[in-house]
């Protein structure tokens, strides 16, 4: 293959979204010497695989014109909410938000999902598979999204902020639960002692700690059991010597926020 092969975005390039505005010049190269090419050129040569005398990507653009929108152009509009999407398949998935259709069903629990990928991730609950591992503390997760959320515990990132008090949270759901503090809403009631809680998770923790004594969360390092996963995580930091909480006065670090708060009293007393 020799000479100049031009790839342009424009009418003369069949309006293919897959081609970028660039020119790549190839010298005559023996197929047996392909290993001598650098990686980017090898990648381009693989992409240039042709059907007959026509590059495969141009052939695809002609065969599937519905995929031939330019990058960033969204031609398929939802008539319900007017959001625009790039592909018909994306619009089909989006429409399930409005119709409530969930065509993918779990055979174990008969739970339904809008997308096949969501069903596959859910099935890991039944198989016990947790392929996503935290490199900081070793915890495993069934879903990549849950790992990303968990990593904020280690990085300290809290992108969700309360407009009333300025408190920040790692997850949006945590912010929504926190907002109940300002509204005074406590919809979760303990049937044993009558206490009310803003969050169901807090009710569950309350029942385990006060009434049932259940400790379902076990430390894989020493076998200690805990009533909730957060207590286990705080304990786990003693094994890996992680101390994410730093004193703003003397920079001393702590594995738990409560220990840092106790330490801060030393500085507060010194100022009096």
Distance CA 69, CA 260 (A): 55
Q: Transcribe 99-167 into DSSP letters.
A: H----EE-TTT--EESSHHHHHHHHHHHHT---EE-TTT--EESSHHHHHHHHHHHH----EE-TTT--
pTM over cut 0.75? no
Residues of the chain with pLDDT under 70: 1-72, 270-272
Task: Give the pLDDT score at 225.
Answer: 92
Whole-angstrom distance, CA of residue 227 vs CA of residue 205:
7
Domains, the chain: 3-67 (no CATH), 102-157 (3.30.160.60), 159-240 (3.30.160.60)
Residue 3 token pair: 């000479």
- Residue of 28, 24, 31, 32 whose CA lies nearest to 8: 24
CA 16 – CA 8 distance, rounded (Å): 9
Residue 13 pLDDT: 35
CA distance 116 to 94: 14
CA-based nearest residue to 258, from 239, 240, 237: 237
Q: Which helix (H) or strand (E) holds 204?
A: helix 200-206
Nearest Cα residue to 259 out of 269, 245, 248: 245
Distance CA 146, CA 159 (A): 15
């Amino acid at each position: 293959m020799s000479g100049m092969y031009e790839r342009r975005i424009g009418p003369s390039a069949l309006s293919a979204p897959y081609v970028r505005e660039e020119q790549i010049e190839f010298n005559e190269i023996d197929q047996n010497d392909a290993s001598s090419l650098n990686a980017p050129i090898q990648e381009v040569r693989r992409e240039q695989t042709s059907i007959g005398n026509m590059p495969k990507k141009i052939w695809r653009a002609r065969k599937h014109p519905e995929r031939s929108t330019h990058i960033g152009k969204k031609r398929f509009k939802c008539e319900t909410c007017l959001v625009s999407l790039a592909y018909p398949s994306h619009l089909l998935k989006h429409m399930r938000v409005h119709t409530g259709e969930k065509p993918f069903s779990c055979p174990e629990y008969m739970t339904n999902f809008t997308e096949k990928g969501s069903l596959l991730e859910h099935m890991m609950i039944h198989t016990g598979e947790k392929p996503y591992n935290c490199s900081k503390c070793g915890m495993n997760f069934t879903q990549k999204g849950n790992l990303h959320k968990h990593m904020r515990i280690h990085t300290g990132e809290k992108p969700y902020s309360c407009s009333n008090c300025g408190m920040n949270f790692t997850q949006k759901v945590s912010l929504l639960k926190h907002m109940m503090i300002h509204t005074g809403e406590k919809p979760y009631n303990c049937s044993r002692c009558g206490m009310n809680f803003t969050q169901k998770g807090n009710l569950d923790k309350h029942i385990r700690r006060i009434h049932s004594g259940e400790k379902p969360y076990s430390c894989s390092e020493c076998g200690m059991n805990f009533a909730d996963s957060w207590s286990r995580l705080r304990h786990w930091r003693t094994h890996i010597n992680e101390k994410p909480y730093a004193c703003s006065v003397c920079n001393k670090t702590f594995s738990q926020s409560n220990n840092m708060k106790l330490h801060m009293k030393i500085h507060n007393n010194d100022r009096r």
